[in-house]
């Protein structure tokens, strides 16, 4: 960890690999007038909209839609199976069966999913964007999405086969994020906010109708994203149990580990109740179980949080990009990247040059990332990729 002084609050940064755009966004956060105590930057940090992905920001009085991002509630789920190994040929068949029940990329289900699976306890009249998108969301429930979202079968250092999913709130989260960011821009303009529009840090006041409404819609999306991963995982596990006879082996009493890494929550840090924005960052309170994925060519990890106060009890959400998507497609060679994965025996998702944005070389070295945050988490299980599905 290194401490940097840019503006109103200091910055605590884990690692030093930060491109110019992300560093400028960190500087913008440090002069944000409602920032609390300091800014925390995880080792997987890279440029996003307004706030860098891999950033942690605490505020009082206001919340920032762009400090959560468009994929609200995006996160990880993992289950381990009572299987010591799986043959590559058998795994290929299983992956094909998974693709038949889990729509990928922009695809949705052709039929609405059961409304009973949707988050409960909300009054739709008080969450207008969710109400508007409700019917569409029923077709999106149990779908993977594209980009860096994935389904992965892994071999754990504990001797078990693991199943892992990375996915979020699909288009529902984007609609909520876009609506409230635009609303925040209008409200900030009316109150003559001193935060430059170019910083993309438009905010909502916590005590305002709009702020309270965003928090409700955001929380719905977090729960929807969890329901989405849960439904996919149930269908994947059904396939594995039918085809292999393997059953779920609980991890510390839990059948499925689940964590989110794009959200805002009310927590206590440094003696104050504050709104913590984790954008591409995972909660890592002391004893918390977390999931930190690598790329499709590298290890992922099951970890335990150490509760480091200077990271606001957070850690990285993955390896983090070192190349933008367009840059990766221009610079990387599809045959070279495919050979790297095939030499490791991985059933990968690099089909065409358009997929190079998700090549392992587009991501930071996960071993380096884990070394940089050794004071944030302890590694419990190393997971090596065997087969990968992407949108």
Helix (H, G, I), strand (E, B) or coil at 47: coil
Is residue 43 within 8 Å of residue 372, measured between CB atoms? Answer: yes
Distance CA 235, CA 187 (A): 44
* Backbone φ and ψ of 339, nearest 5°: -60, -35
- List Cα–Cα distances, 18 to 52, 294, 382, in angstroms: 10, 18, 26
Distance CA 96, CA 72 (A): 29
Crossing angle between the packed helical segments 209-244 and 128-140, to the nearest 10 degrees: 10
Distance CA 242, CA 31 (A): 55
In the annotation, is 317 catalytic?
yes
Helix (H, G, I), strand (E, B) or coil at 75: strand
Helix (H, G, I), strand (E, B) or coil at 64: coil
- List Cα–Cα distances, 360 to 156, 343, 349, in angstroms: 19, 13, 11
Cβ-based burial of 197 (10 A; exposed 0-12, middle 13-18, buried ≥19): exposed
Q: Say which residue the tokens 């819609």 belong to.
A: 217
Residues 6+ apart with CB under 8 A from 243: 90, 93, 94, 97
Which residue in 108, 277, 317, 348 is the catalytic one?
317
Distance CA 69, CA 278 (A): 9
Cβ-based burial of 22 (10 A; exposed 0-12, middle 13-18, buried ≥19): buried
Token pair belonging to 95: 């992956």
Token pair belonging to 292: 């930190």
Q: State the DSSP code for 61.
A: S
Is residue 133 within 8 Å of residue 171, measured between CB atoms? Answer: yes
Tell me the catalytic residues. Answer: 317
């Amino acid at each position: 960890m290194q401490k940097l002084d840019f503006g109103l609050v200091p910055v605590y940064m884990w690692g030093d690999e930060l491109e110019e755009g992300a560093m400028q966004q960190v500087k913008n956060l440090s002069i944000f007038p409602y920032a609390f105590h300091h800014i925390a930057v995880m080792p997987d940090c890279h440029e996003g909209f307004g706030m860098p992905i891999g950033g942690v920001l605490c505020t009082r009085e206001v919340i920032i839609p762009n400090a959560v991002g468009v994929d609200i509630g995006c996160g990880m789920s993992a289950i381990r199976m009572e299987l010591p190994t799986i043959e590559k040929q058998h795994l290929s068949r299983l992956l094909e069966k998974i693709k038949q029940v889990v729509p990928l990329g922009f695809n949705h289900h052709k039929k609405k999913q059961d409304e009973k699976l949707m988050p409960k306890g909300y009054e739709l009249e008080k969450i207008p964007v969710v109400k508007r998108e409700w019917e569409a969301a029923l077709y999106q429930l149990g779908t993977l999405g594209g980009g860096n979202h994935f389904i992965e079968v892994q071999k754990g250092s504990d001797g078990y086969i693991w199943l892992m999913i990375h996915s979020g709130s699909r288009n529902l989260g984007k609609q909520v994020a876009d609506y409230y960011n635009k609303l925040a821009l209008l409200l900030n303009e009316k109150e003559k906010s001193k935060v430059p529009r170019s910083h993309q840090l438009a905010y909502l006041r916590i005590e305002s109708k709009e702020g309270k409404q965003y928090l409700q819609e955001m929380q719905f999306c977090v729960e929807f994203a969890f329901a989405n991963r849960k439904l996919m995982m149930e269908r994947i596990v059904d396939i594995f149990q039918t085809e292999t006879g393997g059953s779920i082996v609980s991890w510390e009493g839990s059948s499925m580990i689940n964590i989110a890494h794009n959200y805002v929550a009310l927590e206590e840090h440094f003696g104050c109740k504050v709104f913590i924005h984790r954008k591409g960052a995972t909660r890592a309170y002391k004893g918390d179980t977390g999931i930190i994925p690598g790329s499709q060519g590298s290890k992922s990890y099951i970890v335990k949080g150490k509760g480091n106060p200077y990271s606001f009890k957070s850690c990285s959400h993955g390896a983090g990009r070192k190349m933008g998507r367009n840059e990766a497609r221009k610079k990387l060679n599809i045959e070279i990247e495919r050979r790297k994965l095939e030499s490791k025996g991985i059933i990968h998702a690099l089909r065409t040059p358009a997929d190079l944005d998700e090549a392992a070389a587009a991501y930071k070295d996960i071993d380096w990332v884990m070394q940089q945050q050794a004071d944030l988490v302890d590694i419990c299980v190393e997971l090596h990729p065997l087969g990968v599905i992407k949108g």
